Structure 1
Amino acid sequence: MAFFSSFLLFTALSTVSMAKGEPDFYDPARVTQLSWRPRAFLYKGFLSHEECDHLIKLAKGKLVKSMVADNDSGKSVMSTVRTSSGMFLEKHQDEIVARVEQRIAAWTFLPEENGESIQILHYENGQKYDAHFDYFHDKRNQALGGHRVATVLMYLSDVKKGGETVFPNAEGKLSQHKDETWSDCARTGYAVKPNKGDALLFFSLRIDATTDPSSLHASCPVIEGEKWSATKWIHVRNFDKPLRKSTSGECSDDNELCPRWAAIGECQKNPKYMVGSEDSVGFCRKSCGVCDSSSSS
């Protein structure tokens, strides 16, 4: 049913776009299959340069140190394996963000509600994200919409050197030709260069829904220039209404950066994540001061 709904979405959006004189809203001719293990595809010119610049503008001044999910507890923690900075946009934050989200759904044939909010990332000289999986090892995060089945990584800027996305376990890593313009990190696997406007789609789960070890990937260190990117993680279930409940009635923070985020106004700027809604519990309720006195911890 979800597949059929996404197909209808794709058909409707394509029709609307052509009526507006925008036949390239979703253009399969721009998509290249890169690998089957993992399943990875590159869309040239997925975003216009104006859209890239707009997403960067939304993020500037709101970036914080990037975190990783702890394999045991599932909580977001700081780690030297990831040295970028980033922030999450709100879903349908404005017309451009909504259009990008619709385009992702049309391309992937995966429902919008299964996706997380877009995360904008910034990598300065030397910053990177070591090899990791986008699927989860802990049950805590798996409860939030299930495993991440697919990732759409959108490149918002060109990088003079470095910053490639590399798949160390990909089947085609030995056959890909690389000249002197590639970094040493990129030579460790099948790699994709960050080109402004391009988007990389890869799947973390196999067709049979088992986790795919060949989806291991990394963001190579930036050697020259800077790198901006936008990531959309898509889950196997609805992420807008996750099966997440407050544990034991306690009101607490689920991220160690909650006090800092609250201090810079994120409770008001990003209330769905920080405070929560009728459908989901917020991650920083304690720092945002929305706990009942009887439930605070």
Structure 2
Amino acid sequence: MVASMRIVFGLLTFVTIGMIIGALFQLAFIRRLEDSYGSEFPTFGRVRRRQLDGYLQLPGGIHHWNDDKEAAILRLGYVKPEIISWSPRIIVLHNFLSMEGIKSNVRTSSGMFLSHEERKYPMVQAIEKRISVYSQIPVENGELVQVLRYEKSQFYKPHHDYFSDTFNLKRGGQRVATMLMYLSDNVEGGETYFPMAGTGECSCGGKMVKGLSVKPVKGDAILFWSLGLDGQSDPNSIHGGCEVLSGEKWSATKWMRQRSTS
């Protein structure tokens, strides 16, 4: 009996350590992307990088992806990751979307999902590929992108993105992570609020509350995980949309599952 318990405990310890190492590798990968792609067109060879306004910039040289259309449209070098919380795991990706990747005349409703046909648009595919790169979750594991508009006085109460029922788990399994992309600027209020993150106070819809919040900035995105390092639902990932005080807040959300959703 004691020997069996030791074996089980050893296996659980091994699995937990493996998941922690995997998460650290994932975050190291994101940091390495920022270090490696300091400008739109990185160069060959060993070059000296110089810091400019918080971004790594490479001097001119041979553009090694001039003929790579997929790499050019992804333009990883514009993105600047900022880890703002380890529990729950939250990363702000500054400049995640370029300006030409934001504008769309497809629909103007307050809330809608892109259709399967719209998902085939080159720009949508490029954005989904970029999400996959930074989340390290396959494109096919993602749900359809949802676009939302919050007008003055609108908000979204704190909630979890993971499922608590079995019905929604049938197609793709549990939600692993969420990518929330901001599509509009000049919004007062409308922060994305994480009440269980951080140890201080933050602004949420003009009020000071306990937790951590991210102000909507056009082109930025938030990547956060709904599952903890143990593979279980993380209650600390609870989040909400603060009240919009003025302007309109437009956002696009992408949820990623454990398996393919198709």
TM over 0.5, yes or no? Answer: yes
| Helix, strand or coil at the partner of 2:106 | helix
| Helix, strand or coil at the partner of 1:200 | strand
Change (3 A) 1:167 1:17: farther
Q: Does 1:151 align with 2:201?
A: no
Amino acid at match of 1:87: M
Unaligned runs of 5+ in 2: 1-21, 37-41, 43-63
Partner of 2:107: 59
Amino acid at match of 1:59: R
Change (3 A) 1:157 1:90: same
Report if aligned partners of 2:176, 2:227 keep a CA contact under 8 Å in 1: yes
Distance 1:151 1:93 in 2: 21
- The count of aligned residue pairs is 202
Change (3 A) 1:229 1:126: same
Distance 2:242 2:166 in 1: 29
Partner of 2:211: 189
Q: Does 1:36 align with 2:86?
A: yes
Report if aligned partners of 1:59, 1:120 keep a CA contact under 8 Å in 2: no
Partner of 1:228: 250
Q: Deviations over 1:48-76 (max 9, x none)?
A: 1221112xx2231xx2xxxxxxxxxxxxx
Report if aligned partners of 2:74, 2:126 keep a CA contact under 8 Å in 1: no
Report if aligned partners of 2:202, 2:210 keep a CA contact under 8 Å in 1: no
Amino acid at match of 1:35: S
Unaligned runs of 5+ in 1: 64-84, 241-297
What is the RMSD of the two structures over their aligned residues, measured on CA atoms?
2.8
Change (3 A) 1:195 1:144: same
Report if aligned partners of 2:79, 2:95 keep a CA contact under 8 Å in 1: no
Aligned with residue 45 of structure 1, among 95, 101, 112? 95
Distance 1:40 1:18 in 2: 34
| Helix, strand or coil at the partner of 1:96 | helix
Change (3 A) 1:59 1:52: same
Task: After TM superposition, give the deviation of residue 29 of structure 1 in Å.
Answer: 6.3
Change (3 A) 1:29 1:104: closer
| Same amino acid, percent of matched pairs | 42
Structure with a larger share of its residues in strand: 2
Partner of 2:189: 162
